[in-house]
Amino acid sequence: MQIREHAEATPDRPAVIIHPAGTIVTFKDLEERANRLAHHFRDAGLVEGDTVAVLMENNEHLPTVMWAARRSGLYYTVISTHLTPPEVAYIIDNSGAKAMIGSRATRKVCEGLAELDALPDLLLIADDDLDGWQRYPECVADRPSLPIDDEIEGDLLQYSSGTTGRPKGIRRELTHVKPADAPNLVSALLMAIQMSPESVYLSPAPLYHTAPCLWSMSAQAMGVTTVIMSKFDPESALDAIQRYRVTSGQFVPAMFVRMLKLPEDVRSSYDLSSLHRVVHAAAPCPVDIKKQMINWWGPIVDEYYSSSEGAGITFIPAEEWLKRPGSVGKPLLGVAHVLDDDGNDLPPGQAGQIYFDLGVVPFVYHKDPEKTAASRDRHGWVTVGDVGYVDDEGYMFLTDRKHHMIISGGVNIYPQEAENMLITHPKVLDAAVFGIPDDEMGQSVKGVVQTVDPADASEAFGDELLTWLRERLAHYKCPRSISFEAQLPRTETGKMFKQELIEKYS
């Protein structure tokens, strides 16, 4: 993966555009900035295998930091800007970070880390001054703009969103090769959605998530202009597509829902004709929501299924999905297996835990050998806990995550089906369904809803919604009651922090 050839061939082409600010970083700028920071890392004593912690919002400096670390043989850990100082301190300690770079927007957390005495030796802060921290980019202004002599490929050290506990670091062994010789882990997906150097790619999610990070860097390595949204907003996303003639993009279903809930006159006021193919992932997409997106954008809404661990990849283009609604496609990387609780292969159509073998990039959960071992079966096949089935033609369908399963009166209930149905109601913006303790049944099914209009969050609408849902699903799958929240605890990539809700409503 390299941006160097594009810096030489098309130096003035935008590599990064920050939307809505309009800040542009050309390929020449990105190459030279990454080189200067790489020299700074080396001068500070960082060597292959060391880790840099990055605490930044989506801004013009973040791509530079990732490229500088990557070509220096470093692990780069991009940390969620929503975490508190103790939570960030845990990741810094667990990753063994020897350097950290923050920004003006994350200054308060950086100050909190200093109070906890949880900082590595090398500290940089972008566009701000903080005692003990070097001001970036001024601190690298005198460094050479040419590459360091010992370039070697680094990698992302991703920490999961921690929806089921403390974040876990997902670490792969470094390849120990020059950056130009390093494999591109998402190249098959980029080709699947027909991206080319002429494409313009929209990245609407925070780069501290795995897919936005890897996809944006992979696109830049192809010479693609990446439009990075400072923060997702449904109308702002449409504006970005129109303004920059976006051809490709990666979304999550929650973004589709928010765009579809915009008034029709707002949606129709933007020219989206530049779109060639887009893709979505990260969370299950309700069938009706995806059909609405295809009706709006055309049969260009493709889908893939993977994980931060990289434990297999499936893909399905929109045209195939329309023939098999709900499928996440066939494997692009790895061979899929659906196993029962005893580790036996299940026949087509029967749901079980999903494993992949062959083609999976080896990983471990950093400093957690027990969790690493639990993710493998006796064959060495890998799972991240998702449940689903494969049909007679090899197309995969997801049911839910294993740890989301509700057991009520001895019956296994996967809440995704009720969630998908609830979110199609025109007054519902988001929904979560989960189990809470029940003296008689063990667990009972609970629903929590976020409405489009806060005024609809009433007991009367809750009763109406339950009746509406029971007309469409078997009663045992439906919540026994519905409560309302002004904002559900969902990450920008669509994953729900259900544990917060379970604790609140139990």
- Domains of the chain are 23-175 (3.40.50.980), 405-505 (3.30.300.30)
DSSP label at residue 160: P
Strands (DSSP E) found in 41-121: 51-54, 75-78, 99-103
Output the pLDDT for position 186.
86
CA angle 42, 48, 51 (to 5 degrees): 85
Closest CA to 137 of 242, 33, 235, 25: 33
| Consecutive 10-residue averages of pLDDT for the chain (506 residues) | 91 98 98 98 98 98 98 97 91 97 97 93 97 97 97 94 71 94 86 95 95 95 97 97 98 91 96 98 86 98 92 95 96 93 94 84 91 92 92 92 76 85 94 87 90 95 95 89 94 78 90
**Which tokens hold the place of 81?**
């800007």
- Strand order, beta sheet including 158-159: 158-159, 169-171, 364-365
Largest Cα span, the chain: 70
Distance CA 173, CA 49 (A): 9
- Angstrom distances, CA of residue 350 to CA of 3, 338, 398, 418, 479: 45, 8, 11, 20, 25
**Which tokens hold the place of 456?**
């609809």
SS (H, E, C) 292-316: HHHHHHCCCEEEEECCCCCCCEEEE
Backbone dihedral angles phi then psi of residue 39, each to the nearest 5 degrees:
-60, -40
Strand partners of residue 54: 78, 101
- Angstrom distances, CA of residue 32 to CA of 64, 124, 138: 9, 18, 14
Residue type for position 387: V
Output the pLDDT for position 120.
96
User: Is the separation of the CB atoms in 104 and 125 below 8 Å?
Assistant: yes
Task: Give the end-to-end CA distance of the chain in Å, rounded to a whole number.
Answer: 48
Question: b/e string for 206-219 if b means 16 or more Cβ within 10 A?
Answer: bbbbbbbbbbbbbb
For residue 317, the number of C-alpha atoms closer than 13 Å in the C-beta half-sphere is 12
CA angle 452, 458, 461 (to 5 degrees): 75
Residue whose structure tokens are 């078997």: 474
Q: What is the pTM of this model?
A: 0.86
CA angle 60, 65, 71 (to 5 degrees): 135
Does residue 469 sit in helix, strand or coil? helix
